[in-house]
Amino acid sequence: MKYQLDNGFLAYDHNGIGIPLLFIHGYPLSRRIWIPQLEGLSDIASMITLDIRGHGESYPFEGPYLMDLLAVDCKRLIDALNIKTPILVCGLSMGGYVTFTLFHKYPQIFRGMILTSTKPGPDSSEAKRNREVSIKNVREYGVPFIADNMLPKIVSPVTLSAKPDLVNTIRDIMIETSVQGVVGALNGMRDRPDSTPLLPHINIPVLIVHGADDQLIPIQEANSMSQQISNSRIITIPEAGHLPNLEQPEIYNKAIRDFIQSLV
């Protein structure tokens, strides 16, 4: 489905029965990463998966995609869908950065939060410089160059060698992103705020799910978040990297199912 927004469209799907659950994907991915969750959780959650600006089938949008802007996009979609009850928000990596900003701006819409493969801190100076290099590279060599660089780091070594079909699917998802989308997201992530001071104020139930082999955001980040969010539980998924929902979907779905059941 498509929701008209500013000068473009946000693509989204809305499936399942139960507590409203908004999934926000990472960079440079799309709502296609949530297919195992749509398949495994439709009896327990009313799931909204969206393609954030410039990703998947949402287009065209000029960047930068500041986290504030992406959070407002999510809120506008929730309002357009006429969802009035508090929701669960599940953000993966960049989607987690958006989730923090969404909570900062609209805490009243949250029933709970699922933080996957993410961290609260801003970019270091080195990370900001790397964003500039990636922007130059994507303009010069295109999105496949970015995808091929990221692939060995985005999944665990086990996934890389044992699940070639999944790795190819992840590559396909990545290369659907436009150059404009990649640049917009890189600029937005580079300038994202520090959400660390928010953590002690997150007063809703939080599930932190992290791949044990995440090479992009190390597991220490998840452990540190769990210490700073009082009402949180953490699940570490073995043989999973940055995309545990795709690499170990059964374990991931069970973690979400248990979390939802603990809320009722």
Q: Rule CB under 6 A: which residues touch ligand MLT? A: 26-27, 93-94, 189, 216, 242
* DSSP code at position 78: H
* Closer to ligand MLT by Cβ: residue 123 or 239: 123
Give CA angle at 190 (189, 191), nearest 5°: 90
- Bridge partners (DSSP) of residue 209 are 116, 235
Q: Are 116 and 90 in contact (CB under 8 A)?
A: yes
CB of 142 to ligand MLT, least distance (A): 18
Rg (CA), the chain: 17
Considering the complex, state which of residue 4 and residue 124 has its C-beta at the smaller distance from ligand MLT: 124
Is the Cβ of residue 53 or residue 242 nearer to ligand MLT in the bound state?
242
CA distance 142 to 229: 39
- CB 228 to ligand MLT: min, Å: 19
Decide: helix, strand or coil at residue 54: coil
* Least distance from ligand MLT to the Cβ atom of residue 206, Å: 19
- Which of 49/93 has CB closer to ligand MLT? 93
Hey, how many other C-beta atoms are within 10 angstroms of the C-beta on 121?
A: 16
For residues 50 and 10, is the Cβ–Cβ distance under 8 A?
Answer: yes
**Cβ-based nearer residue to ligand MLT, 98 or 235:** 98
Shortest approach of ligand MLT to residue 21 CB, angstroms? 19
Q: Considering beta carbons, is residue 174 or 260 the nearer one to ligand MLT? A: 174
| Cα separation, 171 vs 61, whole angstroms | 22
Q: Whose CB is nearest to ligand MLT?
A: 26
Taking the complex as a whole, the smallest distance from the CB of residue 242 to ligand MLT amounts, in Å, to 6
What is the rounded CA–CA span in Å between residue 38 and residue 36? 6
Q: Determine contact, residues 112/91, Cβ cutoff 8 Å.
A: no
Residues forming beta bridges with residue 3, ordered by sequence position: 10
Contact 118, 219 (CB under 8 A): no
Pick 67 or 207: Cβ nearer ligand MLT:
67
